[in-house]
Amino acid sequence: MSAEATAEGWSSGDGVDGVSAGQRLNWLMGDLVERVAGARQALLLSADGLLLSRSPGVDREEGERLAAIASGFSSLARGARAQLGASEVRQSVVEMDSVFFFVLPAGQGAQLALVADSSCDMGQAAFEVNRLVRQVGPYLSALPRGRGGQG
């Protein structure tokens, strides 16, 4: 297993062709950033805010901060759903002066977050993150969790 995959907390062995699940997910996060014009960063996190995967250019510390922020937004949205008469949260989008921040469920116990410039095509960004979740979401519920740095 590579040092990167071990640092990500993956406890499973190498997958197909020696590529770990963590490396494949990092590739998917990078591919998402490349497909969405104006996208800056993408990450996958557990429902409780643990960083699982990140796009290239996002260091571990920054990824962990973004995962905590995404988890907080997701928690607020889930808390508001009953008050607002909704049964599920499909996605949260926070629009700031220069950035959009998308957070959506990505399989049982996982979430996907995307940071994109405010000049991005918001429709395309939402389409791409939802398409990725539909494609890989069923597989994400089986992601192994690390054991606090062991491994």
Each residue's pLDDT tens digit, 30-60: 999 999 999 999 999 998 899 999 999 999 9
**Residues whose CB falls within 8 Å of the CB of residue 140, separated by 6 or more in sequence, listed in order:** 44, 106, 107, 108, 109, 110
How far is Cα 93 from Cα 101, in angstroms, rounded to an integer?
6
Each residue's pLDDT tens digit, 69-104: 999 999 999 999 989 999 999 999 999 999 999 999
For residue 61 the two structure tokens come to 């510390």
- CA proximity to 45, closest of 32, 59, 31, 64: 64
Look at the block and give the residue holding tokens 């643990």.
Answer: 50
pTM attached to this predicted model: 0.79
Mean pLDDT of the chain: 82
Domains and CATH numbers, the chain: 21-142 (3.30.450.30)
